[in-house]
Structure 1
Amino acid sequence: MRLSLSGVSVRIGSHPVVEGCDLTVGDGERVGLVGPNGSGKTSLLRTVHRALDPFAGRVALRGDDVKALGQREIARRAALVAQDSAPDFDFTVEEVVAMGRGPWLRTFESATGRAAAPIAAALERVRLADHRTRRLSTLSGGERQRALVARALAQESPLLLLDEPTNHLDVYAALELLELVRGLGRATLCVLHDLNLAAAYCDRLYVLHRGRIVADGPPAEVLHPDLVRTVFGVACTQLTHPVTGGPLLAFSPLPGGPLPAPAEGAGR
């Protein structure tokens, strides 16, 4: 098992954010984490690479508790593409991708020589080899996200952690990025807002509601109308996609307006 969370609870200050969550990601499996804003998705993801330590429970990468691993070893096992994770300085595409080699380089070693091959391979995989010398700021939103995925690929970690990778992307760029991720064949845990994208590209889904996992399983089983109504506060009809044969959700407002929002501090 590439990733296992057992009874994980997270607090920020005195506020409970996530409570008693169990989650697994197996080899080559694409797992989606969905839920409304404030349900705790990003907080749960952050416990995997120890940006947050759980208040209770255990997070294990390849069977080892992350609390027993250094940051370099965690980065060798899991590569993160976070929201708004582009560097503050305007590096070239190749320089950004080369940052992914950091966990494997010795002190003062540069990303050349042995490290050059994974960088070149990552650029080719995301179809940015011809843009290697361009500044990140000159790329489109979709190209920037592909560059950040390439940085994660150059890291050569067997597990990918993606936090809203399609945020701010148009339909074409979002589909292009998720097709790229699907073609990688790597174990992936992906936080997504769009339920139809999650249904189309994930093998299994975990649904977070008010800091707790309330459902998990294949998308067609998980995203049924009653759950969508309760968790997301909208009416939903589950259809069959005419091309893929997978689930396709059609949404509409609930009569009388949405259900009450979760209490403040219930999840982030």
Structure 2
Amino acid sequence: MRLSLTSVSVRLGTAPIVADCDLTVGDGERVGLVGPNGSGKTSLMRTIYRALDPVAGSVALAGDDIRTLSQRQIARRAALVAQDNAPDFDFTVEEVVAMGRGPWIGAFETTTGRNNAPIASALERVGLAGHRTRRLSTLSGGERQRALVARALAQESPLLLLDEPTNHLDVHTALELLELVRDLGRATLCVLHDLNLAATYCDRLYVLHRGRIVANGPPEEVLDPELVQAVFGVTCTHLAHPITGGLLLAFSPLHAAPVPALGKGSNQ
């Protein structure tokens, strides 16, 4: 098991944020974490890389409690793409991606030789090979996000932690990115707002509501209309995707009036 959270509870100051959460990600498994704004998704993610300490419970990476691991050891096991996690200084794209090699190089070693191949591969995979010398500040929001994903890929850790990786991406780029993540075959925990993307690209989903896991399982089982209404406050209808045949969710506001069907007496 690449990742295991057991009865994890988190507080910010005196405010309870997450309570008694259990979550696992197995080898090669793509797991999604979904829930409304403020439900505790990012806080739960932050406990995994020790930006927050749980007040109860434990987090294990590849079987070891993270409290026994150094930050370098954690980074060798899990690579993170966090929200708004761009470097403070205006590095080039290649320099940003090279930061992903940090956990693997010594104090006096540079990102040359054996470290060049993962950097080049990561840039190629996210479509930024031609932007390696561009400054991060000159990129669009979507390109900046892809640069941060490339940094995580260059880290070559067996577990990917993605906190809303499709933010700032157009539809084409978002789909390309999630296709890439699927093709990598790495264990992945991904926070997503878009339930249709989560249903398409995740093997299992955890639904977080008011700081608690309220459902866990395959998307077609977890995202049932009753749960979606209770957690997200919208009416949900299950459809079959016309191309893939997979689950497609159609949403409407609660109590929205249905569109009348056209009949013989209708104006056309």
TM-score by length of structure 2 reads 0.93
- DSSP 3-state at the match of 1:38: coil
Aligned residue in 1 for 2:142:
142
Deviations 1:38-94 (A, max 9, x none): 100000111110001111111000000000000000000000000111112111111
Higher mean C-alpha displacement, 193-202 vs 102-111: 102-111
Aligned to 1:129: 129
Distance 2:195 2:127 in 1: 27
Partner residue of 2:9? 9
Determine the structure 1 residue equivalent to 2:246: 246
Q: How far is the alpha carbon of 1:170 from its aligned partner?
A: 1.8
Whole-angstrom distance in 1 between the partners of 2:62 and 2:18? 22
The answer for unaligned runs of 5 or more in structure 2 is: 257-268
CA-atom RMSD in angstroms? 1.1
The 5-angstrom pairing of residues 186-265 of structure 1 reads 186-255=186-255
Residue of structure 2 in register with 1:173 after alignment: 173
Read off the aligned partner of 2:148 and give its amino acid letter. Answer: L
Give me the whole-angstrom Cα distance separating, in 2, the residues matched to 1:53 and 1:39.
Answer: 18
After TM superposition, give the deviation of residue 108 of structure 1 in Å: 2.9
Taking the TM superposition and a 5 Å limit, the aligned residue runs for 1:92-107 are: 92-107=92-107
2:208 alignment partner, SS class = strand
1: CA distance, partners of 2:23 / 2:161: 14
String of CA shifts for 1:148-168, please: whole Å, max 9, x gaps.
Answer: 111001111000000011112
Displacement after TM superposition at 1:26 (Å) = 0.7
Distance 1:79 1:251 in 2: 33
Corresponding residue of 2:260: none
Task: Indicate conservation of the 8 Å contact 2:145/2:168, yes or no.
Answer: no
Distance (Å, rounded) in 2 between the aligned partners of 1:28 and 1:11? 31
**Larger Rg: 1 or 2?**
2
Query: Quick one: percent identity of the two aligned structures?
Result: 82
Shift of 1:117: 1.8
Could you tell me how far 1:146 is from its partner in structure 2? 1.6
Matched, 1:159 2:159: yes
Preserved CA contact (<8 Å) 1:97 1:148: yes
Kept in 2, the 8 Å contact 1:8–1:21? The answer is yes
The answer for the alignment partner of 1:31 in structure 2 is: 31
- For 1:47, the equivalent position in structure 2 comes to 47
Amino acid at match of 2:227: L
User: Is the CA contact 1:207–1:216 (under 8 Å) kept in the aligned structure 2?
Assistant: yes
* Aligned twin of 2:262: none
Instruction: State the partner residue of 1:265.
Output: none
CA distance in structure 2 between the partners assigned to 1:245 and 1:67 by the alignment? 44
| Alignment map for 1:51-90 (pairs within 5 Å) | 51-90=51-90
Which is bigger in relative contact order (C-alpha 8 A, separation at least 6)? Answer: 1
Cα deviations by residue, 1:138-197 (Å, 9 ceiling, x for unpaired): 223322222111100111100000001111222112112111111111110000011011
SS, match of residue 107 in structure 1: coil
Determine the C-alpha separation between the residues in 2 that align with 1:77 and 1:31: 17
